[in-house]
Amino acid sequence: MQNTGKDLRAILERNKRVEIDKAWEISITRRGFIALLTYGITALLFWINALPRPLLQALIPTAAYLLSTLSLPWLKKWWMLRKQ
């Protein structure tokens, strides 16, 4: 019977970790950090390759990333409903 209490605690701790991980995956902090990294790396590569207006052009992949984070949640829900 003692193992049941330990097992329950272990499950609850695991659930808490999973919830925190899930919250991180959809957090604005994570999305913003990835967008900043995308912009910085892209702008740097465009500048190194002497492309015209690298700071402006780097907005394109950054905007595409942000747009994908906005559009994919509804697509995921639709896909999950079809799989049930």
pTM of the model: 0.74
Measured between alpha carbons, how far is 11 from 29 in angstroms, rounded to an integer?
A: 28
User: pLDDT per residue over 6-28, tens digit each?
Assistant: 888 999 999 999 999 989 988 99
Secondary structure element (H or E) that encloses residue 11, with its range: helix 2-25
Per-residue pLDDT band for 1 (boundaries 50, 70, 90) equals low
User: pLDDT per residue over 35-74, tens digit each?
Assistant: 999 999 999 999 999 999 999 999 999 999 999 888 777 8
Spans of all domains in the chain: 2-83
